[in-house]
Amino acid sequence: MTLQLNNVVVEYGKSFRAIDGISITLEQGLTGLIGPNGAGKTTLMKTLATLIAPASGQILLNGREITGKNREVLREQIGYLPQAPGFHKNLTVFETLDYYGMLQELEKRVRARRIEELLSITHLEEHRNKKVRQLSGGMKRRLGLAQAMIHDPKILIVDEPTVGLDPEERIHIRMLLSTMASDRIVLLSTHVVEDIASACSKAIIMENGHTAFEGMTTEVVRRAEGHVYIRTASDEGEAARLQSEKTVTGIIYDIDGIHVRYVSREPSETDRPVKPSLEDAYVYARQCYREGCLS
C-alpha cells in the first residue's frame, strides 16, 4: 500500500500557506515526521487523514486519487491519533474502546475480540476498568493508540504521542509503533530526534511548509558526513562566541576544556571532524534547506 501527496498546497485564508507544494510517498513501515513548531506537521497529518482539504495538488491511495467525493475510501483505511484526543473522562478504558468500536460500526462480537487484542498489545489489560481520569499520561497515550487501531486500519497517523512522557513510557510507545508498523503504514510526528533514531527507518523533515528532506534515516546521516566538528574552547567566553558564530548541536564540559559540537557546510582545517548523529544530521538538513543547498 502507498499513500502519496503530489504537489499539495494547503492554505489558511488567502495569504498563508501552511503546506506549500509538498510531494511525499508513504509506504509500509514507520516514518518519522519532524520539524520545528509551525513547520506544518499537524496540517500535513490532518491533510493525509482527509480532515483538511488541499487547495491544490493530489492525494493518492495506491495510485487512485482521493477527492471530496470518494474520501471515505481513504478514511476507512486510516487510524488517526491527534496530540490531544478528547476522551470522556468518566468512561472506563473498556467502555472507551467499545464506544469507538461502535462508531466504526463493528459488530459486537468483532468489537469484543478486537478490544481484547488491543488491551493486550498496549498492556492495558489490568486497567480495563479504570476510568480515563484515573490514567497516567502514558496510559492515555496507549489508550489513544488502541482507539486509533480499533478498526484495524492499514494506515496509522499519530501526532506527538511521546510528548511529555517519562523515558520508560516514551520507549514503550516507540516499541508499540514499531510493532504496529510491521504490516501497515505508520506516520509518527515528533519533536524528539531520539524517537526517530530509535524506531524509524525513514524520515521526513519539514521546514516552513516544505520538505527539507525525505528519505532513509541512514541517508540523512550520510549527507551530514564531513560537516560535523568539535572544537575545544578554553573558557565560557570562547564557547559563547562559538555559539554565536556556528550552528551548535551540543556542548560537553570536560577536564581539558569545553567541547563544542557544531555543523557547518564549510570545511574546517583546525577543528576535529566527528561522525554525525541523527540529531546533527537533522540540524544540518535544516541548515542546508535554509541556505539553498540540496546535500
Mean pLDDT to the nearest integer, 120-133:
94
**What pLDDT shows up at residue 84?**
80
Instruction: Please say whether the dihedral angle defined by the alpha carbons of residues 244, 247, 253 and 256, taken in this order, is positive or negative.
Output: negative
Tens-place pLDDT, residues 164-182: 888 888 898 999 999 999 9
Split at pLDDT 50, 70, 90, the class of 294 is: low
Residue bearing the bigger pLDDT, 55 or 83? 55
Tens-place pLDDT, residues 214-265: 999 999 999 999 999 999 998 899 899 999 999 999 999 988 889 999 999 8
**What pLDDT shows up at residue 23?**
96
Domain formed by 3-215, architecture = 3-Layer(aba) Sandwich (3.40)
Instruction: Express as a percent the part of the chain with pLDDT over 70.
Output: 99
Mean pLDDT to the nearest integer, 44-73:
94
Mean pLDDT to the nearest integer, 184-208:
93
Mean pLDDT to the nearest integer, 116-130:
94
Cα-flanking dihedrals φ and ψ of residue 85, to 5°?
A: -65, 145
Average pLDDT over the chain, rounded to an integer:
92
**What pLDDT shows up at residue 162?**
87
**What pLDDT shows up at residue 273?**
95
Split at pLDDT 50, 70, 90, the class of 83 is: confident
Query: Residue 109: pLDDT above 80?
Result: yes
CA-to-CA distance for 219 and 222, rounded, in angstroms?
5
**What pLDDT shows up at residue 22?**
95
**What pLDDT shows up at residue 86?**
85
Helix pair angle (137-148, 108-121), 10° resolution:
140
Query: Residue 290: pLDDT above 90?
Result: no
**What pLDDT shows up at residue 292?**
78
